Amino acid sequence: MNALIGTYECKVDAKGRLLMPAPLKKQLAAVLQDGFVLKRSVFQPCLELYPMAEWNLMMQKINKLNKFVKKNNDFIRRFTAGVKVVEIDNLGRLLVPKDLTAFAQISKDVVLSSAVHIVEIWDKDLYEKAIDDSVVDFADLAEDVMGNVNDDDHGLS
């Protein structure tokens, strides 16, 4: 699957459904029939929408953990807490279960943000706070994370 692109705003209706923006739905077209997994984010108060193939890849990694190591077992339990299999219906809507809506503090306005091969689902106000440059110096973060990447074939140095 190609990397997903874009950040989109939408609204959640009274039943907890959000209408998948057309450009995002088009990018996900090849995997719509396989379904998705929706889960709590580990680091942020948002949700992560995994296409089923991406979820299966993640589960292959997690399945390699020794379950007789307590930390591994605790991690698996917490990582998969609240996980739900979801589908995008024929009208392009995604139903966000109430427990996950509560976790992500989603009210009405939502941001769907691409995160390589998954989609993050945020309450709009929390998303704006998370990307606020006054809290984290993005230039420093970019240097720390990407500064040692050296891949001349792709124009990165």
In a domain, 97, yes or no: yes
pLDDT for the residue 151: 62
Structural domain that includes position 41: 7-132
Residue 143: inside a domain, yes or no?
no
* Overall residue count recorded for the chain in this entry: 157
pLDDT of 66: 95
Measured between alpha carbons, how far is 50 from 71 in angstroms, rounded to an integer?
24
Averaged confidence pLDDT in the chain: 90
- Within a domain: residue 29? yes
Mean pLDDT, to the nearest integer, of 20-45? 94
Tell me if 6 sits within 8 A of 23, measured CB to CB: yes
The answer to whether position 77 is within a domain reads yes
In a domain, 88, yes or no: yes
Tens-digit pLDDT profile for residues 65-83:
999 999 999 999 999 999 9
What pLDDT is recorded for position 150?
A: 65
For 126, phi and psi rounded to 5 degrees?
-65, -35
> Total domain count for the chain?
1
What is the pTM for the complete model shown?
0.88
User: In the predicted model, what is the mean pLDDT of residues 8-24?
Assistant: 94
CATH of the domain at 85: 3.40.1550.20
Amino acid at the residue 4: L
Residue 144 lies in a domain: no
Q: Is pLDDT above 90 for 132?
A: no
